[in-house]
Amino acid sequence: MKKPILSLSSLSQKYVMALAGIFLMLFLVSHLATNILMLRGDDGEAFRGAVRFLTENPFIKIMEYVLFAGFLIHIMLGVILQIQNTRARPVKYHTRLKTETSTFSRYMFHTGVIIFIFLVIHLVNFFFVRLGWVPIPEVAEGDRYEFYEMARELFQNPWYSAIYLISFVFLGFHLKHAFQSAFQSLGLNHNKYTPAIKTIGTIYALVISIGFASIPVYFLFFH
Provide the minimum distance between the beta carbon of 83 and ligand HEM in the complex, in angstroms, as a whole number. Answer: 23
Task: With residue 151 as reference, give the H or E element that holds it.
Answer: helix 147-155
d(CA 73, CA 67): 10
Note whether 181 binds ligand HEM by CB under 6 A. Answer: no
Following DSSP, what letter does each residue of 13-43 receive, concatenated?
Answer: HHHHHHHHHHHHHHHHHHHHHHHGGGGGSST
Nearer to ligand HEM, 201 or 216 (CB): 216
CB atoms within 10 A of CB 141: 9
Provide the minimum distance between the beta carbon of 108 and ligand HEM in the complex, in angstroms, as a whole number. Answer: 14
Note whether 152 binds ligand HEM by CB under 6 A. Answer: no
Looking at 17, 77, 171, 182, which residue binds ligand HEM (CB under 6 A)?
171
Nearer to ligand HEM, 85 or 161 (CB): 161
Q: How far is CA 137 from CA 110, 125, 146, 153, 162, in A?
A: 32, 9, 10, 9, 20
d(CA 163, CA 165): 6
Provide the minimum distance between the beta carbon of 44 and ligand HEM in the complex, in angstroms, as a whole number. Answer: 11
Binding mask 112-151 for ligand HEM (x = CB under 6 A): ---x---x--x---xx--x----------------x---x
Note whether 103 binds ligand HEM by CB under 6 A. Answer: no
d(CA 152, CA 150): 6
Looking at 12, 41, 52, 55, which residue binds ligand HEM (CB under 6 A)?
55
Question: Could you give phi then psi for residue 104, rounded to 5 degrees?
Answer: -55, -55
Provide the minimum distance between the beta carbon of 214 and ligand HEM in the complex, in angstroms, as a whole number. Answer: 8
Provide the minimum distance between the beta carbon of 162 and ligand HEM in the complex, in angstroms, as a whole number. Answer: 12
Q: Helix (H) and strand (E) counts for the chain? A: 8, 0
Distance between start and end Cα atoms, the chain: 59
Residue from 175, 221, 169 nearest 198 by CA:
175
Looking at 17, 20, 22, 35, which residue binds ligand HEM (CB under 6 A)?
35
Note whether 215 binds ligand HEM by CB under 6 A. Answer: yes
d(CA 168, CA 90): 33
Provide the minimum distance between the beta carbon of 106 and ligand HEM in the complex, in angstroms, as a whole number. Answer: 20
Note whether 164 binds ligand HEM by CB under 6 A. Answer: yes
List residues binding ligand HEM (CB under 6 A): 31, 35, 55, 64, 67, 115, 119, 122, 126-127, 130, 147, 151, 164, 171, 212, 215-216
